[in-house]
Amino acid sequence: MTDSPANAARLAAPGNKDEGRGKGMALLVITSCQLMVVLDITIVNIALPHIQTSLGFSTENLSWVINAYTLTFGGLLLLGGRLGDILGRRRVFIFGVLLFVFASLLGGLAQESWQLLAARALQGVGGAIASPTALSLITTTFREGPERNRAFGVFAAVSAGGSAIGLLAGGLLVEWLDWRWIFFVNVPIGLLIALATPRYIPESVRHPGHFDLLGALTSTLGMVMLVYGFIRASEDGWSDSITLGAFAAAVVLLAAFIANEQRSKQPITPLWMFRDRNRAGTYGIMLSLSAAMFGMFFFLTLFVQNVLGFSPLRAGLAFLPVSAIIAVGAGIASQLLPKWGPKPFMVTGAVLAAGGLGWLTLTDANSTYLGSLLGPVLVFGFGMGLQFVSLTLMAVSGVRPKEAGAASGILNATQQVGGSLGLSILVTVFGTASRNEATDQIPKFMQEATPAQQLEFRRTGELPPPWGNEVLASGVSAAFIVAAVLAVLAALIALFVIQVRASDRERLQGGAAPAVDEDEGVAPVGTGASGARGGDGTAQPDGMPDDGPSPPGRPAD
């Protein structure tokens, strides 16, 4: 049953004795879902060698175990945010969680490679429905200012640290149980979240509208074709006809997506949001940093297991410091943002991330964990912790509650699509560098290897250690060069695109007295009791963002 606006306003009103406990439980439910969804992106990394052996994946196709999830997740996030706006965020949140649970069960029961990929894609659909709804629930549940800053700080720390936690959890489950438990573990957790949600999270008002299915379809298929083109190029070269056909299809589909969004009265991606300089810059930074981060975790996981010889559990523990340092960075940023604003943390975070990745380019077959990997990973993690809080707050700053689903959906989509696209690009670079190094190593191998080793090489086509370690290390180092370039790009966007605005600091400090939105029962972002003020000091209509008048094409209420 949908809560009335008056009841929602009562729950949000300060002084309610149950407010603190209720909002704390609501935040716990929301962040638990986000952790489950984000964690599942990397939890499979540790298990990839075991999945490959069990289900017969080729080395080339193994990356699709990750991409099948991230592509559907990223491609449908925008539709997921829209679903919450139209159908009610709480009910959509619960549906997304339950779909994720069902897909996880199917993944754990998979007996063939295609069955696992289908389950991973369905997991992505469930995550795409639940995740943007979770972020918009924070936007409409917590009052703007310090209260929402703290909530976003927790949410951002969970979102950023979930990648590292997933590696640890994957190591524990694979080492002690079986790779299938990386999927089975989601079932009880998801069911608890679904049961707790109606108790602690009120339903939002449903806004009339329609679903932009054509936009969702063209954007998702376009990104699938783009990622497939890069992965195909790493295997068969850039002149391969299928590679070129995949890129051509991606261009056509993505162009059709943009054309559809421009014509649609209720687009899945409101293009007017990109007309705000800071918000567009925020999306660009998230895209670049996510591309670098996904690649870092993927290749370091391969390196520590295949070159350093770490067990799954030890590999997971090796990444535990990353989770801790991300949480530290997020905590510092959430405390200092009201005073300094987001730009210093965006610039500093991106520079630190680039520095850590640049340091990792020195990785070779003789590298050690303590001497070569831990330092740069900590530098990178601290930079990402500073970034995620700032990016999250900037992306949803100045949007009305009814548009929170779309704004948060775009932010999440850029993170997941950036991760998929970045991983495919880095895999392409890795493949090229590895083949070049293998060309140099094979003659050495043939001279030094035993007859048994040579026979095994002819059968599998894979060089054993130490020659294979040299090949892998060379490819990983080359991939980190491109990842560092992506982080530098993020730093340049933060430095030259993001602007410091007094209105943003006022929101972070909670300086504007919140008014009740007639649709939501909570304060719209950036408004006061008598209406908002634009950047030029002129009065804006109640409920409108204070970053100036509505851009052309923005939908009317």
Residue 351 confidence (pLDDT): 92
SS (H, E, C) 169-181: HHHHHHHHCCCCH
Q: Average of pLDDT values for 199-218?
A: 68
Higher pLDDT: 503 or 148? It is 148
As a whole number, mean pLDDT of residues 538-552 equals: 35
Residues 111-131: tens digit of each pLDDT: 888 889 999 989 988 888 887
DSSP secondary structure of 461-492: --PPTTHHHHHHHHHHHHHHHHHHHHHHHHHH
Contact 515, 5 (CB under 8 A): no
The reported pLDDT for the residue numbered 103 is: 93
Mean pLDDT check: name the lowest of 169-173, 373-377, 403-407, 531-535. 531-535
Contact 498, 346 (CB under 8 A): yes
Cα–Cα distance for residue pair 196/206, rounded to 1 Å: 21
Q: Does position 79 have pLDDT exceeding 60, yes or no?
A: yes
Top-confidence residue, 3 or 401? 401
pLDDT at position 106 = 93
Cα torsion 504, 510, 514, 517: sign: positive
CA distance 350 to 497: 14
Measuring CA to CA, which residue among 450, 416, 522 is closest to residue 202? 522
Burial 102-118 (b: 16+ CB within 10 A, else e): bbbebbbebeebeebbb
Q: In whole numbers, what is the pLDDT of the chain averaged over residues?
A: 74
- Gap between the Cα atoms of 240 and 233, Å rounded: 7
Model confidence at 49: pLDDT above 90: no
Determine contact, residues 401/207, Cβ cutoff 8 Å: no
pTM above 0.85, yes or no: no
pLDDT, tens digit (0-9, with 9 covering 90-100), for 5-43: 444 444 444 444 455 556 677 777 777 777 787 777 667
Alpha helices, DSSP H, located in 264-360: 277-306, 312-318, 320-340, 343-360
Q: What percent of the chain has pLDDT over 90?
A: 6
Predicted local distance difference test score (pLDDT) of residue 252: 92
Each residue's pLDDT tens digit, 270-305:
777 777 777 788 888 888 888 888 888 888 888 888
Give the contacts of 265 (CB within 8 A, at least 6 positions apart): 555
Q: 182-191, 193-202, 407-416, 506-515: lowest mean pLDDT where? A: 506-515
Helix (H) or strand (E) holding 504, with range, is helix 502-509
Q: Using N-to-C axis directions, what is the helix angle for 374-396 and 343-360, rounded to 10°?
A: 150
For 335-346, write each residue's pLDDT tens digit. 777 777 778 888
Residue 556 has pLDDT above 50, yes or no: no
